[in-house]
């Protein structure tokens, strides 16, 4: 009797985790787009890829999931550079971009 309940509970928890992960990814994608626009670079492929997950405490001491996403951008259209956005829960923690070439007029 408990096996079906356990299986359903695990499936529900997995679905909830996936749904929350998609929400965080959408927030990260919007923040990455905005940051690239602010820095006047082109975000390539309009895509971020999850590349890390861990647990960390937020500023209030609560345990949160920290997710890291990678993205690529270009400053001149000729080369590709790597970037990374770190999310703590649903909040942007940091955005890192490799040093890139700036064309002067």
At 105, the pLDDT band (50, 70, 90 cuts) reads: low
> Does residue 5 carry a pLDDT above 90?
no
Q: What's the predicted TM-score (pTM) here?
A: 0.86
Average pLDDT (35-42) is: 95
For residue 58, CA distances in Å to 21, 48, 61, 63, 87 come to: 18, 23, 5, 6, 11
The residue with greater pLDDT, 73 or 77, is 73
- Report strand pairing: 42-57 vs 63-74: antiparallel
């Amino acid at each position: 009797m408990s096996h079906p309940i356990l299986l359903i509970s695990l499936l529900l928890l997995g679905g909830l985790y996936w749904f929350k992960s998609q929400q965080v990814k959408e927030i990260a994608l919007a923040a990455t787009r905005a940051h690239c626009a602010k820095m006047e670079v082109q975000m390539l492929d309009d895509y971020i890829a999850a590349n890390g997950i861990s647990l960390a405490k937020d500023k209030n001491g609560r345990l949160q999931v920290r997710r890291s996403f990678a993205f690529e951008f270009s400053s001149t259209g000729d080369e590709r550079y790597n970037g990374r956005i770190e999310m703590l829960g649903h909040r942007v923690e940091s955005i890192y971009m490799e040093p890139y070439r700036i064309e002067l007029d």
